[in-house]
Structure 1
Amino acid sequence: MAKNEVKIPKATLKRLPHYYRFVSTLHNSGVDRVSSKELSEGLNIDSATIRRDFSYFGELGKKGYGYNINYLLKFFRTTLEQDDMTKVAIVGVGNLGTALVNYNFTVNDRMQIVAAFDQSQEIIGRTIGNITVQSMEDFENKLEEQGIQVVILTVPQQVAQKVSERITSAGITGILNFTPQRINVPEKVQVHHIDLGIELQSLIFFMKNQ
C-alpha cells in the first residue's frame, strides 16, 4: 500500500529518522542485508513494531531474507527527502544554542545549521565554528537569502511565543522548540517540542520502574 493511500501514525513517522540513521551505519560498515530482529536489537525497538512501521510503506523486505540495505537506504532517503539539503537556523544563541551550533548535525550530511540569530549585542558578531551570529533585525532577509527551511528555537521561555510568531510570519513551517513553553502556531506549521527537563524526568522514572 503506497504511503499516500494510508494515514501513517505520527509515532511511526518519528521513528523513520532512527531507522535511516541505523541503516546508514550498516551501509557504511559494508552490511548487505538486515533482519527485523537485528534492527530491533540495534535500535531497541520491538521487532513487531518495526515490521508494522515498514508495512505502511509496502513490501520493503522478504520473509526469510530480511531487508536489503541499499534498497532501505534509498527508500528512507526518498521518504525523508534526504536527497536535498535542509538548511536550518538557530534562534537564541545562549549556552544551548551555542552547543547546537557547534554540533551542527555532523551525523547527517543532509541537514546543516547555516545561520544563527540573537538580539543581544554581546552575542551578535560572535563566531561559533564557521557561523557568525547575526542580529534578529536581519532575520527575515537572511531566511530568504540563505534558503532556510527549519528553525531551532532556543530563546528564553518568556519570549518563545512572541519569537515563534515572528518565525512563522516569515514563512517558516518547521520549528524544533527547545523551550519549555508550548508555543501556538498556525495549523500548517509543524512543531516538535524538546523539553530536556521532562525527558530527563521520564528517563529517571523508567530507570526506577524497569
Structure 2
Amino acid sequence: MSNKKKIPNATMKRLPLYYRYFKQEENNGNDRVSSKEISEALDIDSATIRRDFSYFGELGRKGYGYNVGSLLKFFLEYIQGNNVKNVILLGAGNLGRALLNYKFANIHDKMNIVGAFDSNESLIGNSINGTKIFHINDLETIIEQENVEVAIMTVPMEAGQQSAERLEKAGIKGILNFTPIRLHTGSDVTVHSIDLGVELQALFFQMKNK
C-alpha cells in the first residue's frame, strides 16, 4: 500500500467498527454482506461505507457485496499490522480497573496490556484480568523493558499533563486519554481523548434535538 491515499481521520476511527462487525458476521457463519446490511448494523449510511472502503481499493463486487473473510483479514492486517502492540495503563482507580476487565482482544487481538501503574500502595502487586499493577516508580523501567509505545491514561485531572509529559519522555508515542483536559505533547505523540462527561452531554443535546 505504498501509493495509498491519505485516509481521513473520520474513516480511520470507523475501521475498528468495521472490523468488529465482520468478526461478528464470521462468528455467525455469514460469508458475505452488503453495504446496506453493514449500514443497518452500524448506523452508518451506505455511501459513507462505500467511500471509506474506496480508500483501500476494490474491496467488494457490485451485485455480490463484500466477502466477510477477505475483509476481516484485510482490516485485521491494516489496523493491527504484524506485530504485537504492548500497552500500559496509567492510573488503576475505578475507571482504570474497569478498563482492565474490558476484552480488548475483541477489537485488537494483538494488543497486550503488560502492566498497570498507580501510587496507591494497597493496589500494588495485585492483578486484574491477568494484568499486574506496578508502582508508578516502575513506569519507565517497564516501558523500556517491554518496548511499550502506547499508554491508556486514567489518572486524576490534576495529574493529567504531568503524566503525559512523563509518558512522552519515557518514549510513549500514543496516548488514549480519559482525563477531561487537553494534553499538550510533542508532534510525534498521537493523543486520542475520551471525555465521558462531554460524551454524556452530547447525548443529552442529541436527545433534545431529535
- Normalised to the residue count of structure 1, the TM-score between the two structures is 0.94
- Structure 1 spans left out of the alignment, 5+ residues: none
Q: Call closer, same or farther: CA 1:4–1:171 in 2, change over 3 Å.
A: farther
- Tell me the distance in 2 between the aligned counterparts of 1:157 and 1:174: 18
Q: Is the 8 A contact 1:3 1:56 kept in 2?
A: no
Q: What is the Cα deviation at residue 140 of structure 1?
A: 1.1
Q: What is the Cα deviation at residue 147 of structure 1?
A: 3.0
Q: Does 1:177 align with 2:164?
A: no
Q: Is the 8 A contact 2:4 2:55 kept in 1?
A: no
SS of match in other structure, 1:152: strand
Q: What is the Cα deviation at residue 4 of structure 1?
A: 3.9
Identity score, percent: 53
Q: Does 1:161 align with 2:168?
A: no
SS of match in other structure, 1:112: strand
Q: What is the Cα deviation at residue 106 of structure 1?
A: 4.4
How many residues align structurally?
209
Corresponding residue for residue 8 of structure 2: 9
Q: What is the Cα deviation at residue 84 of structure 1?
A: 3.1
Corresponding residue for residue 60 of structure 2: 61
Match for 1:180: what amino acid? P
- Tell me the distance in 2 between the aligned counterparts of 1:28 and 1:85: 23
Q: What is the Cα deviation at residue 112 of structure 1?
A: 3.0
- Tell me the distance in 2 between the aligned counterparts of 1:181 and 1:116: 21
Match for 1:70: what amino acid? G
- Normalised to the residue count of structure 2, the TM-score between the two structures is 0.94
Q: Is the 8 A contact 1:153 1:177 kept in 2?
A: yes
Q: Is the 8 A contact 1:88 1:148 kept in 2?
A: yes
- Tell me the distance in 2 between the aligned counterparts of 1:160 and 1:185: 11
Q: Is the 8 A contact 1:104 1:112 kept in 2?
A: no
Q: What is the Cα deviation at residue 183 of structure 1?
A: 0.4
- Structure 2 spans left out of the alignment, 5+ residues: none
Q: Which moved more, 1:89-98 or 1:138-147?
A: 138-147
- Tell me the distance in 2 between the aligned counterparts of 1:126 and 1:12: 39
- Tell me the distance in 1 between the aligned counterparts of 2:36 and 2:70: 18
Alignment root-mean-square deviation, CA: 1.5
Corresponding residue for residue 132 of structure 2: 132
Match for 2:46: what amino acid? S
Corresponding residue for residue 99 of structure 1: 98
Q: Is the 8 A contact 1:176 1:194 kept in 2?
A: yes
Match for 2:84: what amino acid? M
Q: Call closer, same or farther: CA 1:171–1:188 in 2, change over 3 Å.
A: same
